[in-house]
Amino acid sequence: MEGTPYLELRAKLAQRDRSLREKVMSLEDAAALVNDGDKVGIGGSTLSRTPTAMIWQLIRERKKHLQVSRSIVSSEGDLLFASGVSDHIITSWFSQGIVWGISKVMRHYVESKQARYDEWSHLAMGMRFRAGAMGVPFLPMRSMLGSDVLELRPEARTIACPFTQEDVLLVPALNPDVAIIHVQRCDAYGNAQMDGLQFMDIDLAMAANRVILTTERIVSNDQIRRSPDQTKIPFFAVDAVVEVPYGCAPHECSNVYEPLFKHMDYYTSLVNADPVAAMQDYIERYIRQPKSWNDYLNLLGLDELLDAARRGRSMLND
Protein backbone atom coordinates (compact mmCIF):
# COMPACT_ATOMS: atom_id res chain seq x y z
CA MET A 1 0.00 0.00 0.00
CA GLU A 2 2.59 2.43 -1.14
CA GLY A 3 1.86 6.08 -0.52
CA THR A 4 -0.67 5.58 2.30
CA PRO A 5 0.36 6.71 5.81
CA TYR A 6 0.92 3.54 7.80
CA LEU A 7 -0.87 4.73 10.92
CA GLU A 8 -3.93 5.26 8.73
CA LEU A 9 -3.74 1.66 7.56
CA ARG A 10 -3.45 0.43 11.14
CA ALA A 11 -6.42 2.55 12.16
CA LYS A 12 -8.55 0.80 9.52
CA LEU A 13 -7.50 -2.57 10.88
CA ALA A 14 -8.38 -1.49 14.41
CA GLN A 15 -11.95 -0.69 13.30
CA ARG A 16 -12.72 -4.26 12.22
CA ASP A 17 -15.61 -6.13 13.78
CA ARG A 18 -13.84 -8.86 15.74
CA SER A 19 -16.93 -10.24 17.50
CA LEU A 20 -17.72 -13.94 17.81
CA ARG A 21 -20.49 -14.47 15.25
CA GLU A 22 -21.43 -16.90 12.53
CA LYS A 23 -19.91 -15.90 9.18
CA VAL A 24 -21.07 -18.64 6.82
CA MET A 25 -22.09 -17.37 3.40
CA SER A 26 -22.13 -18.27 -0.29
CA LEU A 27 -19.36 -17.68 -2.80
CA GLU A 28 -21.49 -14.91 -4.30
CA ASP A 29 -21.93 -13.12 -0.97
CA ALA A 30 -18.24 -13.46 -0.12
CA ALA A 31 -17.27 -12.01 -3.50
CA ALA A 32 -19.21 -8.87 -2.58
CA LEU A 33 -16.52 -8.19 0.04
CA VAL A 34 -14.03 -7.66 -2.79
CA ASN A 35 -14.26 -4.30 -4.54
CA ASP A 36 -12.82 -3.27 -7.90
CA GLY A 37 -9.32 -1.91 -7.37
CA ASP A 38 -8.77 -3.77 -4.09
CA LYS A 39 -5.41 -5.19 -3.06
CA VAL A 40 -6.00 -8.93 -2.67
CA GLY A 41 -3.67 -11.37 -0.92
CA ILE A 42 -4.00 -15.02 -1.91
CA GLY A 43 -3.10 -17.83 0.46
CA GLY A 44 -1.31 -21.08 -0.26
CA SER A 45 1.64 -21.39 -2.64
CA THR A 46 2.05 -22.68 -6.21
CA LEU A 47 -0.35 -25.66 -6.51
CA SER A 48 -0.97 -25.91 -2.75
CA ARG A 49 -4.20 -24.73 -1.10
CA THR A 50 -5.00 -22.26 -3.86
CA PRO A 51 -8.45 -20.71 -3.14
CA THR A 52 -9.53 -21.56 -6.68
CA ALA A 53 -13.27 -21.42 -5.98
CA MET A 54 -13.08 -17.84 -4.75
CA ILE A 55 -10.91 -16.79 -7.69
CA TRP A 56 -13.38 -18.58 -9.98
CA GLN A 57 -16.21 -16.51 -8.48
CA LEU A 58 -14.33 -13.21 -8.78
CA ILE A 59 -13.80 -13.90 -12.47
CA ARG A 60 -17.49 -14.75 -12.92
CA GLU A 61 -18.39 -11.44 -11.27
CA ARG A 62 -15.98 -9.60 -13.60
CA LYS A 63 -14.10 -7.78 -10.87
CA LYS A 64 -11.56 -5.30 -12.22
CA HIS A 65 -8.10 -3.91 -11.45
CA LEU A 66 -7.30 -6.10 -8.47
CA GLN A 67 -3.70 -5.92 -7.27
CA VAL A 68 -2.91 -9.50 -6.30
CA SER A 69 -0.11 -10.68 -4.02
CA ARG A 70 0.89 -14.27 -3.25
CA SER A 71 4.01 -16.07 -2.10
CA ILE A 72 4.30 -18.03 -5.38
CA VAL A 73 1.79 -17.71 -8.23
CA SER A 74 0.75 -20.64 -10.40
CA SER A 75 -1.95 -21.08 -13.06
CA GLU A 76 -4.42 -18.95 -11.09
CA GLY A 77 -2.28 -16.00 -12.20
CA ASP A 78 -3.00 -16.90 -15.83
CA LEU A 79 -6.72 -16.81 -15.10
CA LEU A 80 -6.49 -13.49 -13.26
CA PHE A 81 -4.55 -11.77 -16.04
CA ALA A 82 -6.46 -13.24 -18.98
CA SER A 83 -9.88 -12.55 -17.45
CA GLY A 84 -9.00 -8.91 -16.78
CA VAL A 85 -9.69 -9.31 -13.06
CA SER A 86 -6.10 -8.38 -12.18
CA ASP A 87 -3.64 -6.18 -14.02
CA HIS A 88 -0.94 -6.25 -11.31
CA ILE A 89 0.52 -9.30 -9.55
CA ILE A 90 3.17 -9.19 -6.80
CA THR A 91 4.99 -12.47 -6.12
CA SER A 92 8.35 -14.22 -5.96
CA TRP A 93 7.72 -16.64 -8.83
CA PHE A 94 5.08 -16.85 -11.58
CA SER A 95 4.81 -20.22 -13.25
CA GLN A 96 2.12 -22.77 -14.03
CA GLY A 97 4.17 -25.19 -11.93
CA ILE A 98 7.63 -26.74 -11.86
CA VAL A 99 6.51 -29.44 -14.29
CA TRP A 100 5.27 -27.00 -16.94
CA GLY A 101 7.75 -24.13 -16.70
CA ILE A 102 7.30 -20.40 -17.09
CA SER A 103 3.80 -19.33 -18.01
CA LYS A 104 3.46 -18.18 -21.61
CA VAL A 105 0.18 -16.54 -20.64
CA MET A 106 1.96 -14.41 -18.05
CA ARG A 107 4.69 -13.54 -20.56
CA HIS A 108 2.13 -12.41 -23.13
CA TYR A 109 0.28 -10.05 -20.79
CA VAL A 110 3.40 -8.64 -19.15
CA GLU A 111 5.50 -8.25 -22.29
CA SER A 112 2.59 -6.60 -24.13
CA LYS A 113 2.22 -4.26 -21.11
CA GLN A 114 -1.39 -5.26 -20.53
CA ALA A 115 -0.45 -6.27 -16.98
CA ARG A 116 2.30 -5.70 -14.43
CA TYR A 117 4.34 -8.32 -12.61
CA ASP A 118 6.41 -7.21 -9.61
CA GLU A 119 9.03 -9.79 -8.63
CA TRP A 120 10.43 -10.02 -5.09
CA SER A 121 12.50 -12.72 -3.46
CA HIS A 122 10.49 -15.40 -1.69
CA LEU A 123 11.76 -14.28 1.71
CA ALA A 124 10.91 -10.67 0.87
CA MET A 125 7.28 -11.65 0.24
CA GLY A 126 7.19 -13.36 3.61
CA MET A 127 8.80 -10.43 5.39
CA ARG A 128 6.37 -7.99 3.77
CA PHE A 129 3.36 -9.96 5.00
CA ARG A 130 5.05 -10.41 8.40
CA ALA A 131 5.56 -6.65 8.72
CA GLY A 132 1.91 -6.11 7.83
CA ALA A 133 0.86 -8.62 10.47
CA MET A 134 3.11 -7.04 13.10
CA GLY A 135 1.76 -3.56 12.45
CA VAL A 136 5.12 -2.06 11.47
CA PRO A 137 5.76 -0.24 8.17
CA PHE A 138 8.83 -2.32 7.20
CA LEU A 139 11.20 -5.08 8.24
CA PRO A 140 14.96 -5.44 7.64
CA MET A 141 16.50 -8.40 5.83
CA ARG A 142 19.57 -9.44 3.84
CA SER A 143 17.87 -11.40 1.07
CA MET A 144 18.03 -9.60 -2.31
CA LEU A 145 21.21 -7.71 -1.41
CA GLY A 146 23.61 -8.38 -4.29
CA SER A 147 20.76 -9.73 -6.43
CA ASP A 148 19.53 -8.26 -9.68
CA VAL A 149 16.02 -8.54 -8.24
CA LEU A 150 16.85 -5.57 -6.03
CA GLU A 151 17.41 -3.42 -9.11
CA LEU A 152 13.78 -4.06 -10.11
CA ARG A 153 12.37 -3.01 -6.75
CA PRO A 154 12.86 0.68 -6.02
CA GLU A 155 10.30 0.32 -3.20
CA ALA A 156 12.95 -1.39 -1.08
CA ARG A 157 15.57 0.69 0.72
CA THR A 158 19.17 -0.12 1.62
CA ILE A 159 20.44 1.51 4.81
CA ALA A 160 23.39 1.14 7.15
CA CYS A 161 22.42 -0.78 10.27
CA PRO A 162 22.58 1.66 13.23
CA PHE A 163 24.18 -1.07 15.37
CA THR A 164 26.70 -2.74 13.04
CA GLN A 165 26.97 -0.22 10.16
CA GLU A 166 26.48 -3.12 7.74
CA ASP A 167 24.04 -2.74 4.86
CA VAL A 168 20.54 -4.12 5.39
CA LEU A 169 17.54 -4.01 3.12
CA LEU A 170 14.22 -2.58 4.31
CA VAL A 171 11.11 -4.03 2.64
CA PRO A 172 7.73 -2.30 3.00
CA ALA A 173 4.80 -3.93 4.77
CA LEU A 174 2.14 -5.55 2.62
CA ASN A 175 -1.39 -5.02 3.97
CA PRO A 176 -4.00 -6.33 1.52
CA ASP A 177 -7.54 -4.99 1.59
CA VAL A 178 -8.74 -8.59 1.38
CA ALA A 179 -7.08 -11.96 1.98
CA ILE A 180 -8.49 -15.12 0.37
CA ILE A 181 -7.33 -18.31 2.08
CA HIS A 182 -8.39 -21.94 1.68
CA VAL A 183 -8.21 -24.31 4.65
CA GLN A 184 -9.05 -27.95 5.31
CA ARG A 185 -11.62 -27.14 8.01
CA CYS A 186 -12.96 -24.33 10.14
CA ASP A 187 -16.01 -23.61 12.26
CA ALA A 188 -18.83 -21.21 11.45
CA TYR A 189 -17.04 -18.42 13.33
CA GLY A 190 -13.85 -18.67 11.26
CA ASN A 191 -11.51 -20.59 13.58
CA ALA A 192 -9.41 -22.26 10.89
CA GLN A 193 -7.21 -25.33 11.03
CA MET A 194 -4.61 -26.10 8.38
CA ASP A 195 -2.81 -29.37 7.69
CA GLY A 196 0.59 -29.47 6.07
CA LEU A 197 2.60 -26.40 5.19
CA GLN A 198 1.13 -23.10 6.36
CA PHE A 199 3.14 -20.98 3.92
CA MET A 200 2.55 -17.26 4.65
CA ASP A 201 -1.15 -17.61 5.44
CA ILE A 202 -1.12 -16.76 9.15
CA ASP A 203 0.72 -13.48 8.56
CA LEU A 204 -1.48 -12.79 5.53
CA ALA A 205 -4.63 -13.21 7.60
CA MET A 206 -3.35 -10.87 10.31
CA ALA A 207 -2.13 -8.27 7.79
CA ALA A 208 -5.32 -8.01 5.74
CA ASN A 209 -8.23 -5.70 6.43
CA ARG A 210 -10.79 -8.38 5.47
CA VAL A 211 -10.37 -12.16 5.37
CA ILE A 212 -12.41 -14.62 3.33
CA LEU A 213 -11.95 -18.29 4.23
CA THR A 214 -12.99 -21.03 1.87
CA THR A 215 -12.92 -24.47 3.43
CA GLU A 216 -13.30 -28.11 2.51
CA ARG A 217 -15.76 -28.51 5.36
CA ILE A 218 -17.31 -26.56 8.19
CA VAL A 219 -17.01 -28.42 11.50
CA SER A 220 -18.45 -27.73 14.94
CA ASN A 221 -16.77 -25.40 17.38
CA ASP A 222 -16.53 -28.39 19.75
CA GLN A 223 -14.38 -30.23 17.23
CA ILE A 224 -12.15 -27.19 16.82
CA ARG A 225 -11.74 -26.96 20.60
CA ARG A 226 -10.65 -30.61 20.81
CA SER A 227 -7.47 -29.73 18.87
CA PRO A 228 -6.79 -26.09 19.74
CA ASP A 229 -3.12 -26.38 18.76
CA GLN A 230 -4.19 -26.91 15.14
CA THR A 231 -6.14 -23.66 14.96
CA LYS A 232 -3.85 -21.36 13.00
CA ILE A 233 -6.21 -18.51 12.01
CA PRO A 234 -8.51 -17.21 14.79
CA PHE A 235 -12.12 -16.13 14.35
CA PHE A 236 -11.40 -12.47 15.09
CA ALA A 237 -9.32 -12.19 11.91
CA VAL A 238 -12.06 -13.62 9.68
CA ASP A 239 -15.01 -11.96 7.92
CA ALA A 240 -16.48 -14.74 5.78
CA VAL A 241 -16.58 -18.54 5.76
CA VAL A 242 -17.56 -20.44 2.61
CA GLU A 243 -17.79 -24.24 2.50
CA VAL A 244 -16.52 -25.38 -0.90
CA PRO A 245 -15.55 -29.04 -1.30
CA TYR A 246 -12.64 -29.45 -3.72
CA GLY A 247 -12.25 -25.69 -3.46
CA CYS A 248 -8.64 -25.80 -4.75
CA ALA A 249 -9.25 -27.98 -7.83
CA PRO A 250 -7.38 -28.49 -10.09
CA HIS A 251 -4.72 -27.64 -7.48
CA GLU A 252 -4.26 -29.63 -4.27
CA CYS A 253 -5.37 -29.46 -0.66
CA SER A 254 -2.95 -31.27 1.68
CA ASN A 255 -4.25 -34.55 3.12
CA VAL A 256 -7.51 -34.22 1.18
CA TYR A 257 -6.60 -34.44 -2.53
CA GLU A 258 -3.58 -34.10 -4.77
CA PRO A 259 -3.43 -31.94 -7.92
CA LEU A 260 -5.49 -33.02 -10.90
CA PHE A 261 -2.44 -33.61 -13.06
CA LYS A 262 -4.33 -34.81 -16.15
CA HIS A 263 -6.37 -31.62 -16.21
CA MET A 264 -3.27 -29.49 -15.60
CA ASP A 265 -1.51 -31.24 -18.49
CA TYR A 266 -4.53 -30.52 -20.69
CA TYR A 267 -4.74 -26.90 -19.52
CA THR A 268 -1.06 -26.05 -20.04
CA SER A 269 -0.85 -27.75 -23.44
CA LEU A 270 -3.91 -25.77 -24.51
CA VAL A 271 -3.01 -22.27 -23.30
CA ASN A 272 0.74 -22.44 -23.91
CA ALA A 273 0.03 -23.22 -27.56
CA ASP A 274 -2.23 -20.15 -27.78
CA PRO A 275 -1.96 -17.82 -24.74
CA VAL A 276 -4.73 -15.53 -26.01
CA ALA A 277 -7.58 -17.28 -27.82
CA ALA A 278 -7.21 -20.67 -26.12
CA MET A 279 -7.00 -18.97 -22.74
CA GLN A 280 -10.24 -17.13 -23.40
CA ASP A 281 -11.90 -20.35 -24.57
CA TYR A 282 -10.81 -22.08 -21.37
CA ILE A 283 -12.21 -19.28 -19.19
CA GLU A 284 -15.49 -19.34 -21.08
CA ARG A 285 -15.89 -23.12 -20.81
CA TYR A 286 -14.69 -23.72 -17.25
CA ILE A 287 -15.56 -20.47 -15.47
CA ARG A 288 -18.27 -18.44 -17.19
CA GLN A 289 -20.53 -21.21 -18.53
CA PRO A 290 -20.96 -23.50 -15.48
CA LYS A 291 -24.02 -22.57 -13.44
CA SER A 292 -22.38 -23.51 -10.13
CA TRP A 293 -19.15 -24.75 -8.55
CA ASN A 294 -20.54 -28.30 -8.70
CA ASP A 295 -21.06 -27.90 -12.45
CA TYR A 296 -17.42 -26.84 -12.71
CA LEU A 297 -16.35 -29.95 -10.79
CA ASN A 298 -18.43 -32.07 -13.16
CA LEU A 299 -16.46 -30.61 -16.05
CA LEU A 300 -13.21 -31.62 -14.36
CA GLY A 301 -14.57 -35.15 -14.12
CA LEU A 302 -15.58 -37.44 -11.27
CA ASP A 303 -12.92 -40.02 -12.08
CA GLU A 304 -10.12 -37.47 -11.86
CA LEU A 305 -11.48 -35.95 -8.64
CA LEU A 306 -11.75 -39.38 -7.01
CA ASP A 307 -8.24 -40.29 -8.14
CA ALA A 308 -6.88 -37.02 -6.71
CA ALA A 309 -8.66 -37.78 -3.41
CA ARG A 310 -7.25 -41.32 -3.36
CA ARG A 311 -3.73 -39.99 -3.87
CA GLY A 312 -4.29 -37.37 -1.17
CA ARG A 313 -5.35 -40.01 1.35
CA SER A 314 -2.40 -42.25 0.49
CA MET A 315 -0.03 -39.36 1.21
CA LEU A 316 -1.65 -39.02 4.65
CA ASN A 317 -1.42 -42.74 5.42
CA ASP A 318 2.21 -43.05 4.34
Confidence at residue 316, expressed as pLDDT on a 0 to 100 scale? 55
pLDDT level of residue 55 (50, 70, 90 thresholds): very high
Q: Which domain holds residue 55?
A: 6-123+177-317
Q: Considering the domain boundaries, does residue 208 fall inside one?
A: yes
Q: Considering the domain boundaries, does residue 166 fall inside one?
A: no
Q: Considering the domain boundaries, does residue 228 fall inside one?
A: yes
The 10s digit of each residue's pLDDT in 263-273 is 999 999 999 99
> What whole-number distance in Å separates Cα of residue 32 and Cα of residue 178?
11
Q: Considering the domain boundaries, does residue 163 fall inside one?
A: no
Q: Considering the domain boundaries, does residue 137 fall inside one?
A: no
Q: Considering the domain boundaries, does residue 240 fall inside one?
A: yes
Confidence at residue 15, expressed as pLDDT on a 0 to 100 scale? 80
CA dihedral 262, 265, 267, 269 (to 10 degrees): -150
Q: Considering the domain boundaries, does residue 155 fall inside one?
A: no
Query: 2: closest CA among 104, 88, 101, 123?
Result: 88
Tell me the helices (H) and strands (E) count for the chain, helix number first. 13, 14
**pTM, rounded to two decimals:** 0.94
The 10s digit of each residue's pLDDT in 171-194 is 999 999 999 999 999 999 999 999
Domain total of the chain: 1
Q: Considering the domain boundaries, does residue 150 fall inside one?
A: no
In order, the DSSP letters of 74-116 are -HHHHHHHHHTSEEEEEES-BEEETTTEE-HHHHHHHHTTSSE
